């Protein structure tokens, strides 16, 4: 009796061990392979209540509920259940020390939790999904990727939990770190080519629309934009680059773009095929689908995502059926340009079927089934562009033929009229030529006069002077005055030839003129080796302190760079001081026969004092200027400066722009 009981016990233990090993296959990781698809090695459990705690699952209370996957990519469609999977890995460390990545190539999952065993017991939980901010992901990838470190001493059992409001597929694989990087690089290159092609077509046809004013091109651009948005959302790039810190908006954008897609298809079909030439039933259907598309897109924010996604999917199928049906009828009815249109939609439907078959495990995942939809989309966009071009060419040809007859009728009348007009035209042409010559001379002289005036006066002041004959002085409450002065200029002038002095001054002041123009500063005058400019006039603004400091920084940087070159050639160095002060002043024109636009006030004197007491090679600013730019530039206190009627005031020098 004891022998029988022992035999039964041994048989049960052997059966349980065999059952465990057959249902829980161990995947050996080695350097001989770079990738392992886990689909048929996964044990699956569907928690229909989505409420079973992870502690019960990890403790093994539900081990009997797990079943071995029979397909490469487990697919649960649109489900409210939580899906649990488990799999076992062992790292063959004798021949392999490379890191591994667990890769899930599905970007549209709300919640993904990985439970990785700790060496000393317990579990490490890693959360991912498009309900979390993108920067919380362990590996910054538009799909989901996790670094894993399987043990080399025993097999490690991993658990994962999935929950999403949309369609749930689990294309899971383990890749070596190098293989993951290579695959990701190739995928991003293909996506970049796809996006680039779509954007090129979008902007090209937008330009064509503005040129031809044909609404079909605008509808086509809208279709490309929405189509690109859908592809970007499904690939995960929309979340990664547009809404990385806004998961809610990223999740809303997917059903919203899906809802807009059938509307864009119908709008393009109506504008391309011409509503009056489409079958009445199909025309009404296209309009109805368009309105339904807009309503669903709005209701995305109020209805469950699962419902709006399903509604959007149905309207997409209806829109494609209606669009291709209308195209076939139009083609049969004699619209030659509709042939490209029909082929384009047919190609899109085929690519959609291939993608669906791949998602449902009916076709293996390979380069063509994974990336075929994008290539088909690009081909579709190109074919639709060809159909638009063909339509325009046909319309243009018909219009030209209609106009040709009118032109022929007018030719005879024109010949007679031309003979009578010819003689008169010659006379008028001669007189007109003389008049044009006179006007050209007047215009040239006027331009010379205007250019000369603009060389000494701001444009707005010159305009007022020409219109009124005089310019009223203006008071400015806040302007920034910039002074420059070369160090030891008198000594330089004595050591250099006069033409060398003028050449150096001209080179420097020409560069300063460019910097003033770049930063909206008005050059006032040069005084010997000094250069004065002001910001905030003749048109008032509040940015003049920033403008003046940027101008001064550009001047100093340019002079320093120039001196470095001169030092290499053993030439004299032209070092400069720059001072800036912000405050009120008066601006106006003085003189009668020789106009001069100038500024007056204590602000001018203060800027000169800041410059003369400043540091060579630095931009010195007053306390008032510092208060206005301290949040934008790094400044250092320089010391006190004696100011007339104001005593000692603080001055600073500008170190650098705050990035």
Q: What is the pLDDT of residue 485?
A: 92
What is the b/e burial string over 118-157, where b = at least 16 CB atoms within 10 angstroms of the residue's CB?
Answer: eeeeeeeebebbbbeebeebeeebbbbbbebebeeeebbb
Residue 334: both structure tokens together:
């004699």
The DSSP symbol for 573 reads P
Q: What is the pLDDT of residue 227?
A: 83
DSSP lists the bridge partners of residue 576 as 486
Among candidates 638, 657, 641, 659, which has minimal Cα distance to 649? 641
**pTM above threshold 0.85:** no
Contact 175/169 with Cβ under 8 angstroms? no
Q: What is the pLDDT of residue 453?
A: 54
Domains and CATH numbers, the chain: 22-180 (2.60.40.2380), 183-397 (1.20.1070), 473-657 (3.30.70.1230)
Q: What are phi and psi of 614, to 5 degrees?
A: -80, 180
The DSSP symbol for 130 reads T
User: How are beta strands 43-47 and 67-68 bridged, if at all?
Assistant: antiparallel
User: Torsion angle, CA of 33/37/42/44, rounded to 10 degrees?
Assistant: 160
Q: What does the alpha-carbon distance between residue 529 and residue 543 come to, in Å, rounded to a whole number?
A: 27
Reduce the DSSP state of residue 141 to 3 states and report it: coil
Contact 484/577 with Cβ under 8 angstroms? yes
Contact 297/268 with Cβ under 8 angstroms? no
Reduce the DSSP state of residue 143 to 3 states and report it: coil
Q: Is the peptide bond before 37 cis (omega within 30 degrees of 0)?
A: no
Q: What is the pLDDT of residue 354?
A: 65
Q: What does the alpha-carbon distance between residue 507 and residue 16 come to, in Å, rounded to a whole number?
A: 92
Q: What is the pLDDT of residue 18?
A: 37
Q: What does the alpha-carbon distance between residue 113 and residue 52 come to, in Å, rounded to a whole number?
A: 14
Q: What is the pLDDT of residue 195?
A: 82
Q: What is the mean pLDDT of each run of 10 residues along the chain (659 residues)?
A: 40 38 70 84 91 90 90 84 90 68 87 89 88 85 87 83 86 87 84 82 82 81 85 80 82 83 84 75 86 87 81 84 82 74 74 60 57 66 68 64 71 75 76 76 63 60 66 87 92 88 92 94 90 91 94 94 91 92 89 76 90 89 93 90 74 88
Q: What are phi and psi of 42, to 5 degrees?
A: -95, 140
User: How are beta strands 619-622 and 647-657 bridged, if at all?
Assistant: antiparallel
């Amino acid at each position: 009796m004891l022998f029988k009981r022992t035999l039964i016990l041994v048989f049960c233990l052997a059966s349980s061990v065999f059952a465990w090993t057959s249902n829980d296959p161990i995947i050996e990781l080695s350097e001989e392979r770079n990738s392992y698809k886990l689909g048929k090695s996964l044990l699956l459990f569907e928690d229909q209540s989505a409420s079973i705690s992870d502690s019960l699952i990890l403790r093994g209370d539900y081990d009997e509920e797990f079943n071995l996957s029979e397909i490469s990519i487990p697919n649960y469609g649109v489900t409210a259940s939580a899906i649990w999977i488990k799999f076992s890995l062992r790292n063959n460390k004798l021949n392999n020390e490379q890191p591994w990545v667990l890769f899930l190539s599905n970007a549209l999952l709300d919640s993904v939790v990985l439970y990785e065993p700790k060496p000393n017991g317990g579990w490490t939980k890693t959360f991912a999904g498009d309900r979390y901010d993108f920067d919380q992901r362990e590996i910054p990838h538009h799909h989901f990727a996790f670094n894993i470190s399987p043990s080399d001493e025993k097999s490690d059992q991993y658990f994962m939990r999935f929950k999403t409001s949309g369609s749930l597929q689990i294309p899971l694989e383990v890749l070596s770190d190098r293989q993951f990087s290579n695959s990701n690089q190739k995928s991003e290159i293909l996506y970049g080519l796809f996006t680039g092609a779509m954007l090129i077509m979008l902007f090209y046809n937008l330009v064509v629309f503005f040129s031809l004013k044909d609404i079909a091109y605008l509808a086509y651009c809208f279709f490309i934009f929405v189509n690109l948005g859908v592809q970007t959302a499904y690939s995960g790039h929309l979340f990664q680059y547009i809404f990385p810190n806004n998961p809610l908006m990223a999740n809303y954008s997917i059903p919203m773009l899906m809802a807009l897609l059938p509307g864009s298809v119908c709008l393009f079909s109506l504008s391309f095929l011409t509503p009056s030439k489409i079958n009445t039933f199909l025309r009404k259907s296209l309009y109805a689908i368009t309105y339904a598309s807009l309503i669903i897109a709005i209701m995305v924010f109020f209805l469950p995502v699962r419902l709006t996604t399903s509604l959007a999917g149905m309207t997409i199928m209806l829109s494609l059926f209606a669009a291709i049906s209308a195209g076939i009828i139009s083609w049969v009815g004699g619209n030659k340009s509709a042939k490209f249109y029909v082929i384009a939609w047919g190609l899109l439907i085929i690519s959609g079927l291939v993608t669906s078959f791949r998602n449902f495990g009916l076709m293996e995942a390979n380069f063509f089934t994974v990336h075929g939809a994008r290539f088909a989309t690009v081909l579709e966009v190109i074919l639709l562009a060809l159909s638009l071009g063909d339509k325009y060419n046909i319309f243009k040809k018909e219009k030209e033929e209609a106009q040709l007859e009118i032109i022929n009728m007018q030719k005879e009348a024109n010949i007679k009229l031309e003979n009578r007009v010819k003689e008169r035209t010659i006379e008028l042409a001669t007189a007109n030529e003389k008049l044009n010559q006179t006007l050209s001379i007047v215009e040239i002289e006027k331009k010379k006069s205007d250019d000369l005036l603009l060389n000494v006066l701001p444009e707005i002041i010159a305009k007022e002077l020409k219109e009124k004959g005089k310019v009223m002085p203006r008071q400015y409450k806040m302007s920034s005055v910039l002074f420059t002065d070369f160090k030891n200029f008198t000594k330089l002038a004595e050591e250099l030839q006069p033409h060398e002095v003028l050449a150096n001054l001209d080179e420097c002041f020409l560069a300063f003129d460019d910097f003033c123009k770049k930063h909206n500063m008005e050059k006032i005058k040069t005084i010997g080796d000094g250069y004065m400019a002001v910001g905030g006039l003749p048109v008032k603004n509040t940015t003049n302190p920033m403008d003046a400091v940027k101008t001064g920084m550009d001047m100093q940087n340019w002079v320093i760079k120039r001196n470095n070159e001169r030092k290499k050639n053993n030439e004299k160095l032209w070092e400069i001081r720059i001072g800036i002060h912000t405050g009120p002043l008066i601006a106006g024109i003085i003189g009668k026969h020789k106009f001069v636009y100038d500024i007056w006030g204590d602000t001018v004197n203060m800027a000169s004092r800041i410059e003369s007491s400043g540091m060579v090679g630095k931009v010195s600013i007053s306390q008032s200027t510092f208060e206005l730019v301290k949040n934008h530039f790094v400044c250092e206190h320089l010391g006190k400066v004696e100011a007339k009627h104001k005593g000692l005031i603080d001055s600073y020098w500008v170190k650098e722009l705050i990035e």
